[in-house]
Structure 1
């Protein structure tokens, strides 16, 4: 278990020649202020400090932008206008199954597909 330790493993290489050459090229050694280190103290070496408030502000502004973009959608406008005027149905996007554009305001489901589904379920109830 005990490995033999040679004294050479504790001797560090001499970099004095490279340091002298580096200084001769006009470079300078900067002394750090007391308590400072060469590594950044910020997480992941970020340039800007990020507080939880900054993150929350960024999330909220993004959420508001997405919400405004959705409200600008003409189909969403049609649904909200139908809701405010008290209608049960409105003309929305085309249904993927049947191609109809009539939708319910409350569920945003296709009127024709909902009617067919209700008819099928009623037939199943009557049959059993």
Structure 2
């Protein structure tokens, strides 16, 4: 029940002038949606966040990759991986790396990519 209340207050934040959601509140709501079984809502929030110009952090990206894996959205997951590659800080994050390995390993067609990414992680070149 608390999650629904938090989501309600979050949606109202934009209506209070200069009170805008920051990366922490976006990430909390995205992760909360995912953990409460609403992966589509998590992805929709991520899209809104990006449209508003809020730069995701490694926790946000990990949650979004997990949502893509849960929903078997290979294309979306690969697009987010591309974003990670462009942002070296995010691409080298261990949590993001683990999320990507999980994402790729859940797709039989992409299991080779997961193995390559895992090998890169083991060699410390994440």
**Shorter-normalised TM range:** under 0.3
Higher relative contact order structure (alpha carbons within 8 Å, sequence separation ≥ 6): 2
Q: TM-score, normalised by structure 1?
A: 0.21
Q: Choose between structure 1 and 2: higher helix proportion.
A: 2
TM-score by length of 2: 0.22
The structure carrying a bigger strand percent of its residues is 1
